[in-house]
Amino acid sequence: MTLILSSAPIKKKISKELKAECKVLASKGIIPYLKVILVGSNPASIIYTNNKKIYCEKIGARCDIVRLDENVDSSVFLTTVKQINEDLAVDGCIIQLPLPKHLAHLNDGKLINQSKDVDGFHPENIYALLSNQLSDKHFISCTPKGIVTLLQEYQISVYKKRVAIIGRSMIVGKPLAFLLTNLNATVTLCHSQTPNISDITKNCDIIVSAVGVANLIDKTFLSGEKNQIIIDVGMNTDTYGQLCGDVDFEEVQNQVLAISPVPGGVGPMTIISLAQNLLQASKNRVSL
């Protein structure tokens, strides 16, 4: 039987922990506070940011979405970021990506102060990850952190495992490659220019797809020995307008040892990681 790596039981368990932590903080007069900057009206970004807000409020944290017009002047955008950085009441801030083209070049990872960078994009956070020197003062990118939590909760060790990651984004592929390398996995980071990706994935223990192409991963990517684990990071819409991943779930589910579903797999883990990072930021600030 294939193990379905559902996030639901983990979400239940961790939410309980986070709620309890928020209660303790509230008893000291502290409510973890996240600001999400959302520029424009990308429908997926609106859904993702609303989900983040709903979850923060569910655990007892505060989240405000700061909406800016698609065509906002770069100076207004930068002033908004500066004000949030300087706002002593705010613990964490994320800028929802993607940004409109005219602002994208401003995103150098340093826009949000390191201590509020709950997305883990700041160079100091990235360096701590690359050098395997992460501490409580650093933040790990939310989707990679969520994937590691998902694997750990299902007691899937990556130690000495061969992992193929498909997709080299700054949000998922690259940070995940280093996170798993730090955990002593051997990682191959594949991307659009990698020849014969299936030759690589066939020889891996774990395959992570973070490409954004519905049904890209079918059984031709697999060893055929039902000994592999698939993590599907894709958030795509199928021809019926339904949310689906990068993996042809129907085709591969009986060909693997374990697989994360979409929806109900990595997506909720990302939000949990964000909440964990926010609480960490809040606790760090209190101890200052």
- CB closer to ligand GUN, 166 vs 256: 166
| Shortest CB 172 distance to ligand GUN, Å | 8
Give the binding range for ligand GUN (CB under 6 A) out of 50-58, 88-96, 145-153, 185-193: 88-96
**Residues 109-138 interacting with ligand GUN (rule: CB under 6 A):** 119
Cα separation of 214 and 18, whole Å?
33
Give the binding range for ligand GUN (CB under 6 A) out of 91-99, 131-139, 225-233, 280-288: 91-99
Q: State yes or no: residue 190 binds ligand GUN (CB under 6 A).
A: no
For residues 10 to 39, the per-residue mask of contacts with ligand GUN, x marking binding by CB under 6 A and - elsewhere, is ------------------------------
Q: State yes or no: residue 94 binds ligand GUN (CB under 6 A).
A: yes
Cα separation of 155 and 213, whole Å?
28
Q: Which of 4, 66, 72, 97 binds ligand GUN (CB under 6 A)?
A: 97
Q: State yes or no: residue 90 binds ligand GUN (CB under 6 A).
A: no
Q: State yes or no: residue 142 binds ligand GUN (CB under 6 A).
A: yes
| Shortest CB 123 distance to ligand GUN, Å | 16
Q: Which of 7, 115, 143, 228 binds ligand GUN (CB under 6 A)?
A: 143
Per-residue DSSP letters for the chain?
-PEE--SHHHHHHHHHHHHHHHHHHHHTT---EEEEEEES--HHHHHHHHHHHHHHHHHT-EEEEEEE-TT--HHHHHHHHHHHHH-TT--EEEEPSSPPHHHHTT-SS-SS-GGG-TTS-SHHHHHHHHTT---TTS---HHHHHHHHHHHHTT---TT-EEEEE---TTTHHHHHHHHHHTT-EEEEE-TT-TTHHHHHTT-SEEEE-S--TT-B-GGGS-SSS--EEEE---EE-TTS-EE-SB-HHHHGGGSSEE--SSSSHHHHHHHHHHHHHHHHHHHHHT-
**Residues 220-279 interacting with ligand GUN (rule: CB under 6 A):** 270
| Shortest CB 49 distance to ligand GUN, Å | 9
Q: State yes or no: residue 281 binds ligand GUN (CB under 6 A).
A: no
- Select the residue whose beta carbon is closest to ligand GUN and give its number: 97
- CB closer to ligand GUN, 4 vs 46: 46
Contact indicator for 170, 143 with CB cutoff of 8 Å? no
- CB closer to ligand GUN, 108 vs 250: 108
Interface residues with ligand GUN (CB under 6 A) are: 94-97, 119, 142-143, 171, 270
